[in-house]
Structure 1
Amino acid sequence: MDMSTQTTATTQAASDGQRPNRREARRNEDMALAARAERWMATGLSTEPADRAGAEAGVRIAYALAGLPAPGRMLWLGSPAAGATAVAMLRTGLPGDPKVREALAAQGVHDLQLGRSVRPQVRTRPWAQARSALAERRGAVGFARHWAATARRPWQQLVDQLATPLRTRLTEQFGAVGGEFGRAQQDALLDVVYGQHDAAWLGAFDSDPDVDGLARVAASAGWWWAFEHVAILTERPRAVHRDNLGRLHHGDGPALSYPDGFGLHAWSGMPMPAEIAAELPTLTVARIRRESNAEMRRVMLEHFGFDRYLRESGAVETQSDRFGKLWRVELPGDEPLVMVEVLNATAEPDGTFRTYFLRVPPDTQTARHGVAWSFGLSSREYAPEQET
């Protein structure tokens, strides 16, 4: 073997040895990042009482990292709704909510100047700095991979499924108040820091000193507000009810509830007014028909049961074939409810055959078409030799 051949063989052997090592390192990193994401997910979903001392220490660190003196006062409220209301009361001087006024008075607050919002320095700038530093270290591809591993699922579960529906509901609730005070409540939501729900992205920058203060507050408390002279912090929820997709979902009380009594009712991720939630256990066909809001009617239908609604509402059988029966019932102000009744081809343990219903598009003409649609096929494509 000449020298060049020997050198090539040695280089190839070294390369072959490095590849498994790189793959093993990549697997180890992926596992570590996944574990980190799960830890922050747990933080974002925590229902433990706030660690007030830990949260206040985090606030002081966040202000110091922003080059600001610590706030002269730190106030605590029982929920994001109460926190936003307290901000509105202190900004406007209006009496606002009696319970919030009582909570402020218990902390010795009667007239207090918030000062300007320092959210841009305390929350926006550290986030941007941490993101820029990580992107510079890892490059565009490396950053995208790191973000996907540490933040994609927490963001979907905590921001999309929790923080956004909560904020939407509060915006609607404050809008219903109206006037100067309602606008002040809505404006307060522009300055909020998500606290524990910032766990959605903090896992991507777990050891970055720029976000140390934010991370400490997120690990200890709920939503909060940063002002020049005052920080307003809130408790974490005492209960979070979700479905198997992570959406807020509960048919017997609020899906998200806080220690001060504030709660967010939701069904399959759809926020709903408390008065409608209270009606769910006693729904009737007539009540569902009277509902003018199409989204709320769909919530009612899902809770009531589509098959039950068909049975009790006088649905019309429009077609049948060997694949099932096609049923249709009109819904006032909405598209009709069309479903295929199917007999399961597989027997239950007791030898009976279960009947179930598939909701299909309103233009479905045959049961075969409806069953095919449920598999993402056309009627011609759907020709099973044996049904299961």
Structure 2
Amino acid sequence: MAGLNAVITGWGFYVPPRRVTNTDIEHLLLETRQKRGQSVDPGRDLTNDAWITERTGIKERRFAGEGEFTSTMSAKAARRALERAGLGPRDIDFIIVATASPDYLFPSTAALIQNELGANRAGVIDLEAACTGFLYGLAVARGLIIAGTARTVLLVGAETLSRFLDFGDRGTSVLFGDGAGAVVIEASNASVGIESAVLRADGSKADLLLLPGGGSRNPASGDSQKNGLHYIKMAGAETFKLAVQMMSEAAVQAIQEAGLRQEDIDLFVPHQANVRIIDAIAKRLKLPAEKVFVNIQKYGNTSAASIPIALCEAVDAGKVKRGDKLLFVAFGGGFTWGACVTEWFGPVDAYRQKSLVGRLQRELEQRLEEIVNR
């Protein structure tokens, strides 16, 4: 891509320390059904480690502990990403948080993170595209940079979905986990960067995957709680089928728009929804197993956080080097889906030295502004 580009220069993630195994989920399901007076048929309702692993690939997931929220996990991931980028909070021009489980309806989780980090120069926005949120955020960050609105964007994907799980429903309660992943995206004249972004949606399928309570249609009330409207609802079979089809099509388009072929992809980092979905997409794209990064077995489906967490682990494991072409794909409630191709850039130590004058100028401007506003 000629001209100004958007490159990822920092990355970091955080997951809560509390591990919840498949056996733990099995016990929660049994306890919940017993409390509700629901019968359990061992033959039909068996939900043990083998059952969950075979159908999802998940062995365990992380649940947020007391005092942990989407904002607090996001701030921890963000600090790690900024450290990797060699930047401070005051270097951030804009903060984007992709989440379906914000701390509040308002103010935005991004505003809470801005305050926690001390990033008082940054504009903020929350973005809700469910599991596809991080990819939508990448596209928005890229647009802000190319438009000249921002030079440094902090993008976070984070979720605390464990607090919206019905442990009487094995179709959803076995899937989700909590965590946060963050990347720093900067303006650059480098030839590498975010090369394509394909974003799609189909609102006619909204009722197949949703959290019905808590908004203006079904505000929180005694009835909404009694009727289980604050739990995630999903039509699993339909979602699975559409996810494979739509993500595969978006991936092919994103690769083509980046001017590449499928064999040019160095690493495929998909949304970690279900290992069978990942395998099906990789097969359609003819990508060998060594080019597919999977960590769903450790964290489950962390929705908007899954791609940045997986990306961080892939980079830290040495599976990504500068110039590698990465493919991201995701699918989530809405339905929303998308794909993105980026050529990896990484840390910019040499570039950072060149930008020292600009940073000093920015700090001077901020101090003058503080003096004027006293």
Greater strand share, 1 or 2?
A: 2
Q: TM-score, normalised by structure 1?
A: 0.20
Larger RCO: 1 or 2 (CA < 8 Å, sep 6+) = 2
Larger radius of gyration: 1
Q: TM-score, normalised by structure 2?
A: 0.21
Greater helix share, 1 or 2?
A: 1
